[in-house]
Amino acid sequence: MKSSIPVAITIRSFNLSGSAFKKLEENCTLSFINKTGERLSETDLMKALANVQGVIAGTEIFSRWVIDQCNSLKVISRVGVGIDSIDLGAAQEKGIRIVTTPDSPVQSVAEHTLALALSVLKNIPRYNEQMRKNNHTATAGSLLSGKTVGIAGMGRIGTRVAELFECLGCHIFFYDPMVTRQTPSAWKRVDSIEDLVECSDIVSIHATPQADGSPLIDANVLSHANGITLINTARGTLIDEQSLISALSSGKVKAAALDVFPTEPYSGGLLSFPQVIATPHVASNTVESRLQMEMESVNNLIKSLEDAGL
């Protein structure tokens, strides 16, 4: 592949001193690098993609309007897994190939999910805040061992989450109509998301976005809850925000731990609940996983451009 091929880095964070960046520099011409630390708007994204043939992308919105302006773009190489921010129909019409890094974030997201669950059960954020105010009030926590954990989405990450929780003495139930492979006999499959919510103490979401963009967890689903802890490290659109607010108010959902939100950066009503733990979409953001994801995304981009004959 010729080093003159123009590419852009539009993701809001990319290690510019790492080996992945060095490899990208050696193989391509960098026409644009996002150094703002912020997700680019559609207008800025469109400008960044002018005349480039490949892009290292994050969660920027590759709408039809953006893609229609990209007459040279051949490859979108996503640092991560989700592609719901890309208009797939528009990309297909333009002949743009989309590649992702499905293996790299698995352990990081699974560990973050476990950390969120333990933070809820052990009241860790509350104690941390109280002690800084010289408040040493103790509130009884709960054991994780013995809890029924319901996994919505038994892909790579969901499977790893189930393994971690099982190691700590949890009972695993799961809902995933797409899974055909054999799962451990101790893991119990349920037929609906309502059944999963009804039988679980903790529900952790690891599903892909719904085809029609509708939430997986809505008011009807939450009406089946009995004081669950709800964890979401997948996509913010999988939970209807107002339904979750209502369920937190009624006690149907006892607590929630959320790394993703319908709109990011998030500053909405969920943050007013003390029983909600929030992190800013950082579940995959460990040093080790980021290095792996960045190198995988660069390798994917280079190979895809070579396959395109560039």
The residues assigned a catalytic role are 235, 264, 281
Residue 255 DSSP SS3: strand
Write down how long the chain is.
Answer: 310
Distance CA 24, CA 164 (A): 35
How far is residue 201 from each of residues 5, 101, 120, 123, 241, measured CA to CA in Å?
Answer: 52, 31, 12, 16, 20
> CA geometry: angle at 304 spanning 301 and 310, to 5°?
105
Residues 79 and 60 sit within 8 Å (Cβ to Cβ):
no
The partner residues of 173 in beta bridges, in order of sequence, read 150, 188
Angle at which helices 124-131 and 106-121 cross, to 10°: 60
Chain Cα centroid distance, residue 38: 17
